[in-house]
Amino acid sequence: MSNRIVVSVQASVDGRVAAEDGGLDWLQVKDELHAHFVELHRTAGMFAYGRRTYEGMAAYWPTADADPAGDKFLIAYSKLWKSMPKLVLSTTLESAGWDTTVVRTVDELEEHRRTAGGDLYLLGSPRTIAALAERDLVDTYEIYVHPVVLGTGRPMLPFRRGLTLRSAQTFDGNVVKLEYTRD
């Protein structure tokens, strides 16, 4: 199979990927984890998002490198994000900027995965994760567990899924990356 579909998602200890209001202020991304994301995502062939996650990314990353005295990891990731081909799975979005193609169906997303210049990284986007997982299209789940319990909010998947742990890694002494493949 060409190019894997890799889910890369931030989660709370209780498995939530966003607070009840959609907020992400609970994330603890420090230098070591930022550096990891820059290096890892640099190897991607394409990023993919659901509409809501894409709109959040597109509102932030295009200008995150504007401050020359800014954080070196934010600047590096901003440059990476802007240059990376992107997909957004949406039935409502008409168009998107920043080298982004709007696709309407999982089948269209799957076609783009096959022609990407490397792995397709699905970042965040719990509805899109669920749509791909339901069709057994996710090859790898990279779950970054942050030391917080949200209690409520959006789960990564709304159904049961068996996975096999491949590796675990700690960043900045508080965030754990768990890498799973499907059973």
Tell me what pLDDT residue 183 has.
76
Q: What is the pLDDT of residues 124-154, one digit of tens each?
A: 889 999 999 999 999 999 999 999 999 999 8
* Cα distances (Å, whole numbers) of residue 130 to 14, 72, 124, 135: 17, 33, 11, 9
CB 46 within 8 Å of CB 117: yes
- Structure confidence at residue 17 as a pLDDT band (50, 70, 90): very high
Instruction: Provide the greatest CA pair distance for the chain.
Output: 46
Q: Residue 41, SS3?
A: helix
- Structure confidence at residue 98 as a pLDDT band (50, 70, 90): confident
Mean pLDDT of 145-173: 93
**For strand 175-182 and strand 163-171, is the pairing parallel, antiparallel, or unpaired?**
antiparallel
pLDDT higher than 70, residue 1: no
Q: Give, for 32, the enclosing helix (H) or strand (E).
A: helix 31-42
The span from the CA of 168 to the CA of 104, in Å, is: 34
pLDDT higher than 70, residue 162: yes
Tell me what pLDDT residue 23 has.
86
- What is the pTM (predicted TM-score) of this model? 0.92
In the DSSP assignment, the letter for residue 98 is S
* Cα distances (Å, whole numbers) of residue 152 to 7, 56, 73, 75, 127: 22, 21, 31, 33, 16
- Structure confidence at residue 97 as a pLDDT band (50, 70, 90): confident
pLDDT > 70 fraction of the chain, expressed in percent and rounded: 99
Q: What is the pLDDT of residues 43-60, one digit of tens each?
A: 999 999 999 999 999 998
* Cα distances (Å, whole numbers) of residue 84 to 52, 68, 80, 176: 18, 21, 6, 26
The span from the CA of 158 to the CA of 160, in Å, is: 7
Residue with tokens 């991304």: 29
pLDDT > 90 fraction of the chain, expressed in percent and rounded: 68
pLDDT higher than 80, residue 69: no
The span from the CA of 113 to the CA of 173, in Å, is: 34
